[in-house]
Amino acid sequence: MGVTSQTVSVLASTMSSSSPKTIFADNYFSGLDIVRYLKSKNCRYTRTVRDNRTGNAPLRPIKEMMKKAVPRGTCDYITSDDGILIVRWKDNKVVALMSTDMGVEPWSSVYRYCIDTKRKEQLSCPYLIKSYNANMGGIDKSDMLVHLYRTPLRAKRWYMRLFAYAIDVSLTNAWIMYRRDSKALCVNDGLSLKNFRIQVFKTTSSSKSMTSGPRRSSAPLPGSSSTSADIPKPIRGHHSHVPHYSVWFDVSLFRAAIAARPASNAAGRGTS
């Protein structure tokens, strides 16, 4: 299995319930290998699927279904011998789903706005589509809440964006738990997501860091009695003393500096 399929298999192994389970995922975690693997583990799987991951299923081509002559609500589906259902349904775009949990019946109705008639029209919808939209609502809502107030972090390093996204997801989950607890305690004045983030920022910025403390000064040299009190404090606008120009051309000082150099540096660079 690929990397995405292995991720799903590892997460599915953490579910301890022995009863049949159903997993809903998007088209990133798609592939026939993970569907067959979960089915062997008594776990059902429903997710959207990309066109190149349907195993060349003999369905109606997407380009043909996207034509204006094909009405919205058109559906095409096929079932494999091992019970894998693949459905293509035309909405604003062509949507493809794969499932081992449910089928296309019973059919239901959905309403979509039509630009030509300027009103909502009723479309037939497979049961698989309706069930997927109902169970994926939590993921869609989480994505919407995360993108409402994102952390303004711009960095060329790609992992910094993942760090900012992790903070946003943590704050969103914390706010959802806060709203749930407020409702359980009958607290009606719960904070909004924006005010909740502001309150968290104020609380964390006002608290003192546990690692902050006085800086350690450098230890004095052996035999020296100088302390930090002997070091003069810097004065704003004060310039260091500039030696006289006669010192710049003193040859004796230059020779003393050459003699004070280590022997390795002198042998490496050479003297003239």
For residue 208, the model assigns a pLDDT of 60
For residue 71, the model assigns a pLDDT of 80
Q: Place 245 in a pLDDT band, splitting at 50, 70 and 90.
A: low
Listed by start position, the domains of the chain span 3-135, 141-202
Task: Tabulate helix, strand, coil % of the chain (nearest 5).
Answer: 40, 15, 40
Considering only residues 266 and 48, tell me which one the structure prediction assigns the higher pLDDT.
Answer: 48
Per-residue pLDDT, averaged over 63-81, amounts to 81
Distance CA 63, CA 113 (A): 22
Check pLDDT > 50 for residue 133.
yes
Mean pLDDT in the chain? 76
Give the pairing type, strands 43-48 and 21-25. Answer: parallel
Q: Place 130 in a pLDDT band, splitting at 50, 70 and 90.
A: confident
Distance CA 51, CA 97 (A): 10
For residue 272, the model assigns a pLDDT of 46
For residue 266, the model assigns a pLDDT of 47
Considering only residues 80 and 246, tell me which one the structure prediction assigns the higher pLDDT.
Answer: 80
Question: Residue 182 is inside which H or E element, if any?
Answer: helix 158-184
Check pLDDT > 50 for residue 271.
no
pTM of the model: 0.54
Instruction: Name, in order, each residue with C-beta under 8 angstroms of 170's C-beta and a sequence gap of 6 or more.
Output: none
Q: Which of 67-76, 113-122, 175-184, 206-215 has the lowest mean pLDDT?
A: 206-215
